Chains A and B, each alone.
Chain A
Amino acid sequence: METEGALPGPRSELSRRLSAVAARERGVGAEQLRWIGTDPDLFEAFYREQVEGLQHFVARRVGDRDRAADLTAEVFLAAIDSAHRYRPGRGTPKTWLYGIARVLVANDRRRSGRERAGEAGGEGFRGSSLLDPEDAARIDARIDAAAQSRRLYEAMDRLPEAERAVLELVALDELTVAEAAAAVGVRSGTARVRLYRARRRLRADLEAAAGQPIPKKEDRS
């Protein structure tokens, strides 16, 4: 039996539209995030808000243009897939997205090139298939700019996982300690301790590699 006027689910079309308008104005809030997997307007607002930051996130970890494009698409596809499981208590939309990105980038690093080549991508397309020559130069530039970050990232690979995760999110992705804590699922205090330890270890590591001390003051530029 067809329904005319009955609720399609827990959410009305008017509220859907109003929240899409609000999302364009104020960003996709934690309350709205769970709908981005089924609501194109909300998704667009979320995408526009996050795509630039996410591409930098990926470029800091991946030195290959096609893989970066693939991963960017995969992260959003994974976000679309799991948005309905998002709970506002577990962090902001940004930390949630970066949490997904961390996992996918880590998985990607474990896969061999051949494995990757054999995959069609989540929804039957690969992000890299959307690249054209104009994009290539621009994305390469972004990847080159992130080379230093990637070297740091590689050095960070030698840190214990728990410490590396926090440092990475704070130092590379400029999340606050509280956000980073939420993204990896620990308390702020714990994250702070891990961050301190990670920095100390990394400094020792880099100093050993460079053969000279590294200035204490952090350069965030």
Chain B
Amino acid sequence: MSQGGTPERDFEQRLQARLKAVVADRGAAASRQEVEGAGTADPVWRRRAPRFALGAGVAAAAVATALIVSAGGDNPSRAFAVEPQKGGGVRIEIYSLEDASGLERALAWAGIRSQVTWLPTGRVCREPHYKPSIVHLPGGGSLGAVTMGGPGGPMTIGVGSTQRWRESFGEHRRGELSDDELANLNLDPEAFRPDQSVVLSGAPAPYGGDPEGGSVAQLGIAEGPVEPCEPVPAPPNGSAPFGLPPTPGGGPGYRPRGDGALSRAAIAEILRHTAAVAAAGPSVQAPPAPGQFLYTKTRVAQLQGWLPRGHAKGSKANPRYFVPTSDPNARYALVTTLKEVWTNPEGRTRVRETLGRVEFLSDADQRGWEAAGSPPPWSFDPREHDVRRDGSGRLVKDFASRSWRGRRLFSHVSQLAEAPTEPEALRLAIERRRAGGSPLDPSPASSLRGGATVERLLEILTEPIVSPALRGAAFAALAEIPGIGFERGVADTGGRRGDAIAWVREGGFGHRLIFDPRTSRILAKAEMTSGAEAARYPGVPDGTVYRETAYLQAGIVDSIHEATEPEGDPVATTSPARPR
């Protein structure tokens, strides 16, 4: 069917785009709280609100009954309540950060040993006070540390079997379980080893202008004895991992919440100012005409895993040393690639990737890698036909590709040209919300919808071809979204500095967009591991950059050789990668 004849792919590409949109909608709807306007309502896919939730599954119904009697409805403090959850296990709803020992008892009854500490605002436990561990769940997956935070309100912990939990997740999706009956996180007593326990600490945190309007909690898995929690002031942002230049607001323990000294109103004001700068920016470039190319140059830093001692994936002849992996033996490295893309109006591309730095977490890992012959990441295997060395000896991968948007690659330019340039209208268009439906206020950046909206707005800002008016509207729309943090003087992994928008999206990924406040130009976009994400990857500190894209150049050129070419570059002339 598709013997290289690119026009043939059209139906398939269109169908792919259409189906992908369906999947994206479902993915978003699966965890969406609000009911959409009548036209798009789909009760089967509605899911509970993201909540400050801890879930745990309990083994025995008898245990659940005991809990209700002794800790649930009769609990006079109402610090928490324990109720059986449908299908087995219990659900613990925490109303206030009090009665830590009562919660410990309730968890113990449910089969989970724990240490619970409620702390004053701005305090954390001195680390390390236990050995972090991971609970491996039956049927795959694992549970490590989780960081939760947000506005005040009940926090739900459930305890039950993993299988039951997974089933209930599906039942909820199908509308068979109500929002209140589902916990977001499950603790399975059967999955805990005897030496493992839960360490939970929390403290009031600023939210919505109220210094104690919300809360933040850390849940960790301990292996062996747990020392008492010694309250210490919460550390400032840590230093950067992997020997990178220290980046204020980055590194172990970093959570991109932004500068706490700035109120929401102040952040909104800064972003509105940036919006004005953006709207007055230079005029938009037209998409490439026939014979021209859109040229973009980015530097991508990506966290990759390396399995030493021959555990690499791939054939023996063609080992792949850097593999995305959650193997507990994995060593992690931040691999930097310079990526240049020339795209013609048909969507065909020449892609040239030049391998940059490989930086390991520790010197020992670095030495281990060097002892193995400094194997390049799999995508830069010199035996691959499209991989060469440039004049400086750097590995270069040069290949032809196609943008998945196919021949309609630049049609989104016209779509963007039609996008509303009034900030709220732009946001509502992105969210596909109509007036007269559910409330139209922006969702917080930490929620699924809010996070998705922020990402779409950032996509607009990082598009190479977009009008100043639309960029201004995107900044202005960001200004109205709660939960956006702001940081000044932040550096990307390449050392370029600017101001940054920062937030944590539901799911635990921290995001940061660094821009030049004088021009509103986007310098880099980064995601960093955070909370549970970090804990799933042993040895990767919380706050580690998972992926960062630095935007170096973008413009229209007349040739796929136009741009900075390394000296003696043999690639351009031998490349199979020429778009016509």
Contact = CB atoms under 8 A, between A and B. Distances in A.
Interface string A1-40: 1111111111111110110011000000001000011111
Contact of B11 (A4, A69, A80): A69
A3 B530 CA distance: 13
Contact of A51 (B12, B50, B529): B12
A130 B54 CA distance: 44
A200 B255 CA distance: 68
A77 B26 CA distance: 11
A1 B185 contact: no
B533 A14 contact: yes
A48 B148 CA distance: 37
Interface string A90-126: 0000000000000000000000000000000001010
Given A12-B536, A72-B15, A2 B150 contact: yes
A8 B50 contact: yes
Interface string A61-82: 0000000010011001100100
A142 B11 contact: no
Nearest to A55: B1
Contacts of B326: 15, 18
B2 A52 contact: yes
Contact of B148 (A4, A13, A36, A39): A4
B494 to A, nearest CB: 22
A130 B11 CA distance: 6
B537 interface: yes
Contacts of B22: 77, 80, 123
Contact of A39 (B11, B23, B151): B23
Contacts of B10: 132, 134-135
B352 interface: no
A77 B170 CA distance: 18
B339 interface: no
Given A14-B546, A130-B11, A134-B7, A2 B537 contact: no
Contacts of B1: 52, 55-56, 138, 142
A131 interface: yes
Q: Which of B12, B216, B483 has the most CB of A within 10 A?
A: B12
B328 interface: no
A18 B165 contact: no
A187 interface: no
Nearest to A35: B27
Contacts of B23: 36-40, 43, 80
Contacts of A8: 31, 50, 184, 448, 506-507
Main secondary structure of the interface of A (DSSP, over half): helix
Given A76-B15, A80-B19, A139-B11, A5 B148 contact: yes
B324 A1 contact: no
Given A14-B546, A40-B24, A6 B15 contact: no
Nearest to B28: A38
A135 B149 CA distance: 51
Given A1-B52, A10-B141, A21 B324 contact: yes
B102 interface: no
A3 B27 contact: no
Interface stretch (B81-89, B152-160, B465-473): B152-160
A9 B169 contact: yes
A8 B447 CA distance: 10
B150 A73 contact: no
Interface residues of A, number: 52
B357 interface: no
A10 B165 CA distance: 9
B153 A1 contact: yes
B532 A5 contact: yes
Interface residues of B, number: 72
B325 interface: yes
A140 interface: no
B394 interface: no
Contacts of B504: 4-5
A78 to B, nearest CB: 11
Contact of A5 (B18, B20, B146, B166): B146
B275 interface: no
B51 interface: yes
B220 interface: no
A44 interface: yes
Nearest to B207: A2
A146 to B, nearest CB: 11
Given A6-B506, A7-B184, A18-B325, A1 B16 contact: no
Contacts of B141: 10-11, 15
B533 A12 contact: yes
B30 interface: yes
Given A13-B507, A56-B1, A84-B170, A40 B52 contact: no
Contacts of A39: 23, 27
Interface string B210-230: 000000100000000000000
A135 B1 CA distance: 11
Interface in B497-553: 504-509, 529-533, 536-537, 546
A39 B384 CA distance: 30
Contacts of B529: 14
Contact of B169 (A10, A48, A52): A10
A130 B20 CA distance: 14
Nearest to A38: B27
Contacts of A44: 16, 20, 404
A47 interface: yes
A123 B537 CA distance: 38
Given A4-B148, A22-B324, A77 B19 contact: yes
A55 B8 CA distance: 13
A9 B184 contact: yes
B290 interface: no
B14 interface: yes
Given A4-B148, A51-B12, A73 B447 contact: no
A40 B27 contact: yes
A-B pairs, 3 with minimum CB distance: A1-B153, A5-B531, A38-B27
26 contacts: A2-B52, A2-B151, A3-B184, A5-B148, A5-B506, A6-B147, A6-B184, A6-B185, A7-B146, A7-B507, A9-B30, A12-B507, A12-B533, A13-B507, A13-B508, A13-B509, A17-B324, A40-B21, A40-B23, A40-B27, A51-B15, A52-B1, A69-B11, A125-B18, A130-B11, A132-B10
Interface of B: 1-2, 7-8, 10-12, 14-16, 18-24, 26-27, 30-31, 49-54, 140-141, 146-155, 165-166, 169-170, 173, 184-186, 216, 255, 324-326, 404, 444, 446-448, 483, 504-509, 529-533, 536-537, 546
Given A2-B506, A7-B532, A43-B23, 12 more contacts: A1-B150, A2-B52, A2-B483, A5-B149, A6-B51, A13-B508, A21-B324, A38-B27, A40-B21, A73-B15, A73-B19, A77-B19
